[in-house]
Amino acid sequence: MKQLTRSLFLLLLFLPGFKGLSQNASDTLNERFQSVEGRLNALDEKTAAHDADLGKLTKIKVSGYIQAQFESYQDGLLKTNDPNNTFYIRRARVKFTYEAADGIKFVLQPDFSTGNLSLKDAYAVASLKKVPWLSLWAGQFNRLNYEVEYSSGQREVLERSKVIRSIYPGEREVGAKLEATPAAIPLKLQLALLNGNFTGKEQKDVDSKKDLMARAVYSIKTPVGIGIDIGAHGYYGGIQAKNKYVSGYDAVMDSASTNTGTYLDKQWLGAETQVFFDWLGGMALKGEYIAGKNATVGDSKSNPNKERKFSGYYAYLIKNIGKKNQFVARYDYYDPNTSLSGDEAKKEVNYSTLTLAWQFYLNDNIRFSLNYEMPRNETNTTVPKDIKDNVFGIRLQAKF
């Protein structure tokens, strides 16, 4: 009993020590826990800072494509000693898009083709929060036309049809555009005010008159998987004659002194349709007809200002063959001067062009294109036979 009492007494003596030991362990644990918590908080802060930086980066999107191609030309396209075939870079573009906020976007697209560093797109897009379906564009952007707006990286033939290349040189234009795509109706409305003289180099307008463009497209979807887009566009503008020599619609030269500074009409209308049909892997028929008055500025009597009435159209048949192949046929027609025919037309003859193409999509990034363009011109005594100007092209397109 005595021993038990002694043992208990000794134990009581040591208890505060135990308590002290336990207290020390707990303190150490607390310190370590606080240290770990501190480190975690520091990491949290770092992650938040990185998140903010990465968030900014995700607002920048970079895309682009390179089109390297081989072309072989018929004799009619060549001057003396010209090579009849060549490799070249058709386009090498990088597109930067910065989405500053919902509905606010900046786009910059230079083209770095060999010896041809040029600015393609440079515009800002803004839409109001309350009307997100309405956007205002300002800067340099594509003109309002189906084939013009259809990306060169996506198009099924190597070049646009002759009528589009002739009336919309350079595709782009400097100005401002309103675009409406109401959610309730499958309708796209575009209205633009443009300088009206752009061919790819003009920084500013050459005259004070601005040109007006409008386009509307309505999409119909049928229950059997057919989609039909119907649209129209119009161009209303003019270009100022820089001297008194004006070659009129009938090609008769007018040199009245009052001609200098007058506006020559650039006015036309176009009707378009695209039909998409989910038949054996997909098929499309696309077409457009455009007619009106066009004018170009000359600098002398031998190269006068010219007014012309023109018309043109194009029609595409595109058929997917499996998932990777695509057959394309396009027929296009362009008459640069409908007022004149036969010998009166001289060199302004009409062209009808058949283009056959085959696409092979290796994957989403790589596409091979075979393209054979066969233009056929009207003949007269100035242009007595069909010019041998067929072009065969092979293109490798890589995009990212």
Partner 1 sequence: MKNLKKTAIILAGLAIIGFGFIQQTKITIIGSDTMVILAQRWAEIYMKKNPTVNIQVTGGGSGVGLAALINGTTDIANSSRPIKPTEVQKLKDRYNTLGVEIPCAKDGITIFLNESNKVKELTTKQLSDIYSGKVTNWKDVGGDDAPIKLYGRENSSGTYAFFKEEVVKADYAASCQTLPGTAAVVNAVKKDKYGIGYGGAAYASGVKHCAVKKDDKSKGIVPTPETIAKNEYPITRYLYLYMRNRPTGEIKKYVDWILSPEGQKIITEVGYFPVK
User: Which residues are at the interface with partner 1 (CB under 8 A)?
Assistant: 102, 129, 150-151, 154, 181, 186, 219, 221, 225, 227, 274, 276-278, 281-284, 318-320, 323, 361, 363-364
378 close to 358: Cβ distance less than 8 angstroms: no
Nearest to 243 by CA among 328, 318, 304: 304
The CB density around residue 278, as the number of other CB atoms within 10 Å, is 11
Q: Which two tokens stand for residue 244?
A: 């008194």
For the CB of residue 279, give the shortest distance to partner 1 in the complex, in Å: 9
Query: What is the distance in angstroms between the CA of the first residue and the CA of the last residue of the chain?
Result: 92
Taking 3-state DSSP, the helix, strand and coil percentages for the chain, each rounded to the nearest 5, stand at: 20, 50, 30
Q: Which is nearer to partner 1, 261 or 281 (CB)?
A: 281
Residues paired with residue 126 on neighbouring β-strands, in sequence order: 104, 136
Judged by DSSP in three states, 69 sits in strand
Backbone angles phi, psi at 136, to 5 degrees: -110, 125
For the CB of residue 318, give the shortest distance to partner 1 in the complex, in Å: 6
Q: Rounded to whole angstroms, how far apart are CA atoms 360 and 324? A: 6
For the CB of residue 282, give the shortest distance to partner 1 in the complex, in Å: 4
For the CB of residue 130, give the shortest distance to partner 1 in the complex, in Å: 10
Q: Which is nearer to partner 1, 16 or 225 (CB)?
A: 225
For the CB of residue 328, give the shortest distance to partner 1 in the complex, in Å: 10
Q: Long-range contacts of range 27-34, CB-CB < 8 Å, 24 or more positions apart?
A: none
Q: Which is nearer to partner 1, 215 or 266 (CB)?
A: 215
Nearest to 155 by CA among 353, 337, 377, 399: 399
Q: Which is nearer to partner 1, 119 or 285 (CB)?
A: 285
Q: Which is nearer to partner 1, 164 or 318 (CB)?
A: 318
Q: Which is nearer to partner 1, 48 or 269 (CB)?
A: 48
Nearest to 294 by CA among 309, 280, 305: 309
For the CB of residue 36, give the shortest distance to partner 1 in the complex, in Å: 19
Q: Rounded to whole angstroms, how far apart are CA atoms 48 and 33? A: 22
For the CB of residue 219, give the shortest distance to partner 1 in the complex, in Å: 8
Nearest to 398 by CA among 90, 65, 68: 65
* Residue 138 CB contacts under 8 Å (≥ 6 apart), including other chains: 123, 124, 175, 176, 177
Judged by DSSP in three states, 42 sits in helix
Q: Which is nearer to partner 1, 263 or 277 (CB)?
A: 277
Q: Which is nearer to partner 1, 78 or 280 (CB)?
A: 280
Q: Rounded to whole angstroms, how far apart are CA atoms 113 and 116? A: 5
For the CB of residue 211, give the shortest distance to partner 1 in the complex, in Å: 27
Judged by DSSP in three states, 300 sits in coil
For the CB of residue 79, give the shortest distance to partner 1 in the complex, in Å: 38
For the CB of residue 200, give the shortest distance to partner 1 in the complex, in Å: 24
Q: Which is nearer to partner 1, 311 or 320 (CB)?
A: 320
Q: Which is nearer to partner 1, 104 or 253 (CB)?
A: 104
Give the C-alpha distances (Å, rounded to integers) separating 370 from 328, 348, 395: 10, 30, 7
